[in-house]
Structure 1
Amino acid sequence: MPEVPHYEHAAETTMQLDWVDLPVIDIAVAETEGREALALTVRKAMTDFGFFSVVNHGLTPEHTSRMFDIADVPFSQVDEVTKREYAADIKGTGSYEGYKLREYWHISGGVRDQIEHYNINRDITKREHPPALRPYLSEIEAFARFNHEKVLYTLLRLFARGMELPEDALVDLHKFDSQSETSVRFMKYYPRDETAEETTRSVWLKGHTESDIGTVTILWSQPVAALQILGRDDRWIWVRYVPNGLVINAGDALEFLSGGLYKATIHRVVQPPEDQRAKTRLGMFYFCFADDNVKLAPLLASPVLQRGGVKRRFADEDAPTMEEWRKGLTRSYGRSKLVKVGEKSRHEQEMVAGIVVRHFN
């Protein structure tokens, strides 16, 4: 394998934070007779939190470390001029494929984001990539297939079992070779100055579900604490680092398909604790989308939905396709003028494809 510069993560924080006690799922159990019980555990995690951690996924710590090294290449080994050459036409195409450069999104009070990310469709041939990244494309392609076939498909089968549907009911909507925006995303957060922190109340990415447009987000856990979820008691609580683990959450499309059973949980990214504040935060994701032509209406054949009822965000006949939903959200996210809801409300909203989309600050 070609050599790659090593990215050194910050040490874990020693600060006492209000950590959420997320369920930890041993995904290897899905290949045993314990998968029925595991499906119920996953269903409870998704209905209680919308988030859970995964261990024993099958990638070694050494392999994960190398992938993080590769994840830093599009940021540390590519100059600014080349980054602009490979920037995504987000507004024009409704796609993040390529670079999302810093200061593209508005956070609040005139402060723009300090986040770069580079998206690579799991079909790595869809577009050209910066020269510095090309030696690693075969590894990125293998990483995408691992996420898709070993992690995503296992989770989708568990989700389907939790809805008492045929095991491949959701897998069949996420074919690896179909037209879809499912992508590997490398993402780097850079420290901000104190003025920006004060203006935004230390929020780096507003509370949202809608940047998770798809069905499932697979986050490869890294040690810089910054991710928070909104608890049922309306408090923001921190998501803990899991060495060589994954953090899984439902996206909007899965909430739609599951009739509200698997609810997309509001989450945000904030300034890290003091002992990690000067460090960059490198993220590695697999953002999963249903096939572009899938209509995001509830899977009403589910006995669980038939017994418990369906929570709809729109009439079934008005359900957007996956392509319509992702393009609408991608084009507007962080760019549209938001409307504040009430004088004392903590959230703003916009309309996308006839659906109310909320942003929490």
Structure 2
Amino acid sequence: MTNPSSNPPFPPNLPLAPLTTISHSKLLSNDSIESSKLLSACKNQGFFHLDLRTTPQGATLLSQSSQLYNLAQSLFALPLETKQQFALQKGVSLFGYKPAGTVKTTDPSHRPDSTEFFNIGKDDLFFPTSPDTLATKYPSEITPSLPLLKSFTSNCHVLAMELLTLLAQELQLSSDTIFTDLNKFDQTSGDHIRLTHTIHTPNDNKLGLPSHTDFGTITILFNWQGGLQIESTTAPNQWEWVKPLPGHAIINLGDAMKIFTNGLLKSAKHRVVPLPDNQEKAMERYSVVYFVRPNDNVMMKAVDKFENDEIRVRVAGKFEPVLGGEGNSSSTGEVLTAGEWMVQRAVQLGN
């Protein structure tokens, strides 16, 4: 198996997204400056680098993500006909295999993507609906890695809850658990691990993943190669590269947090493009992602002091009131539950 640290270096002189780097150890030490940086990053960029190198929890996640990198290589090396046996059903199940070639409605040119992935559900790992749930949804090759998958899932969830608690504190909400109560581990949700594999063919017109926003609460990304771009906060429709940093996770908020805070916190548009320069010679890109999504019974609406605010969007660097929501209501105007909303968004986005 390829060691993820053996990838070619990220090329210089590319326009980089100005992401804040935040220390996990300082957050755990209740460093007020670091917590303030966290809130600022979530309000302005919606993305940040999280340095995990100096905490035992962070070191464990870094080690586990590298092991899952190797698992991804094994899974995606399976024959396509084998992987297709576990294909997720759009509008029915969010979990299983998605082949490359999906067209997202968010891409105006309707270009097929070049990324395949396996979504492995938190509930399937910890609270399966039947004894054969795992066997019917996922290849048997994941069986030896079940302890790893379960430990990584629970560790990522703990990390996400730490961040949500700090955000609630920084926002001076009525309770530190306002956000964590919407994302409880032991309740049914769309939380999942995603193992991704992108193959770039020279001179084709495909994107790894077309532009989109995530539609959960928090995304935790472990990525060793280039390819991720974020829409510029100062120049719409311009894209800036995210340089992977050794020992760091890339964290971003999803649309759920934008809804819960009525637009105060940012869910940034991003995409995956062909690997830059010398990294493109590797041709293949792997990443390990954990998505935290609200519990299925949560109502997708603003919470606490944001409930009576006008919905806001950023215009010319400032928040301005607008009419309408984030697709969080049905055709009759009823607010959707998170479970209903996740299915609706997955159908819209093509996965």
Deviation at 1:69? 1.2
Conserved in 1, the CA contact under 8 Å of 2:226 and 2:242? no
For residues 339-358 of structure 1, the C-alpha deviation after alignment (integer angstroms, 9 at most, x for no partner) is xxxxxxxxxxxxxxxxxxxx
**1:171-182 correspondence runs (5 A):** 171-182=180-191
Change (3 A) 1:86 1:152: same
Alignment match of 1:263 (pick from 263, 266, 274): 266
TM-score normalized with structure 1 length: 0.80
Return the alpha-carbon distance in structure 2 between the equivalents of residues 216 and 294 of structure 1: 15
Secondary structure of the structure 2 residue equivalent to 1:103: coil
Q: Which runs of 4+ in 1 moved over 6 A?
A: none
Matches within 5 A, 1:85-124: 85-91=85-91, 93=92, 95-105=93-103, 111-123=111-123, 124=125
Structure 1 residues 230 and 205, CA gap change in structure 2 (3 angstroms): farther
Find the aligned partners of 1:16 and 1:193 in 2 and give their Cα distance.
22
Picking from 226, 229, 246, the partner of 1:227 is 229
When residues 218 and 33 of structure 1 are mapped into structure 2, their CA distance, relative to the original with a 3 A threshold, is closer
Q: Sort the Cα spacing of 1:62 and 1:110 in 2 relative to 1 into closer, same or farther, 3 A.
A: closer
Report the Cα distance in structure 2 between the residues aligned to 1:120 and 1:244, rounded to whole angstroms: 24
Q: Spell out, residue by residue over 1:148-182, the C-alpha distance to the aligned partner (whole angstroms, 9 max, x if none).
A: 01x11111111111221221111111111111010
Q: Note the alpha carbon deviations across 1:76-97, whole angstroms, 9 max, x for none.
A: 2x22221011111124x0x320
* Cross-structure match for 1:344: none
5+ long unaligned stretches in structure 2: 313-322
Q: What's the CA shift string for 1:213-251, capped at 9, x where partnerless?
A: 111111113123433333222221111111121111111
Q: Which residue of 2 aligns with 1:50?
A: 46
Q: 1:141 aligns with which of 139, 150, 162?
A: 150
Taking the aligned partners of 1:264 and 1:280, their CA distance within structure 2 comes to: 27
Quick check: 1:323 aligned with 2:339? yes
- Rounded to whole Å, the distance in 2 between the matches of 1:62 and 1:260 is 35
Which SS does the other structure have where 2:231 is aligned? strand
Cα distance between partner residues in 2 of 1:14 and 1:167: 42
Aligned mates of 1:62, 1:89 — CA distance in 2: 32
Within a 5 Å distance, the mapping from 1:267-306 to structure 2 comes to: 267-278=270-281, 279-301=283-305
Match of 1:186 in 2: 195
Q: Is the 8 A contact 2:64 2:152 kept in 1?
A: no
- 2:254 pairs with 1:254: no
> Does the aligned pair in 1 maintain the 2:194–2:289 contact within 8 Å?
yes
Q: What corresponds to 1:158 in structure 2? A: 166
- Any conservation in 2 of the 1:13–1:225 contact (CA below 8 Å)? no
Which letter does structure 2 place at the counterpart of 1:51? F
d(CA) in 1 for partners of 2:119 and 2:28?
Answer: 31
Deviation by residue 1:247-287 (Cα, 9 ceiling, x = unmatched): 11111111000111111111111122121113211011001
Change beyond 3 A, Cα 1:109–1:63? closer
CA distance in 2, matches of 1:90, 1:7: 33
1:354 is aligned to none
Task: Name the counterpart of 2:317.
Answer: none
Further displaced range: 249-258 or 62-71: 62-71
Matched, 1:81 2:81: yes
> Which residue is equivalent to 2:70?
69
Task: Give the whole-Å Cα distance in 2 for the aligned partners of 1:161 and 1:265.
Answer: 22
What's the CA shift for 1:109? 5.3
- Unmatched segments (≥5 aa) in structure 1: 336-361
Shift in alpha-carbon separation, 1:313–1:52, aligned structure 2, 3 A: farther
* Identical amino acids, percent of aligned pairs: 25
> One-letter code of the match for 1:13?
F
Contact 2:216 2:293 in 1 (8 A): yes
Deviation at 1:7, TM superposition (A): 4.9
Give yes or no for contact 1:156–1:170 (8 Å, CA) kept in 2: yes
Q: Deviations over 1:104-123 (max 9, x none)?
A: 32566564222100010113
- What is the distance in 2 between the residues matched to 1:43 and 1:96? 30
Deviations 1:308-340 (A, max 9, x none): 8652743997432211211001112138xxxxx
Q: Residue 259 of structure 1: SS of its match in structure 2?
A: coil
Distance 2:273 2:162 in 1: 31
Q: CA deviation at 1:39?
A: 2.7
* C-alpha displacement of 1:37: 3.5
**Distance 1:295-1:246 versus aligned 2 partners, 3 A rule:** same
Change (3 A) 1:40 1:310: farther
CA distance in 2, matches of 1:104, 1:280: 18
Of 12-21 and 169-178, more deviation after overlay is shown by 12-21
Partner of 2:315: none
Closer, same or farther in 2 for the Cα pair 1:33/1:274, shift >3 Å? closer
Aligned length: 316
The TM-score with structure 2 as length reference comes to: 0.83
- For 1:47 and 1:108, the matched residues in 2 are separated by 27
RMSD: 2.4
Q: 1:233 to 1:97 in 2, by over 3 A?
A: same
**Is the contact between residue 215 and residue 254 of structure 1 (CA under 8 Å) also seen in structure 2?**
yes
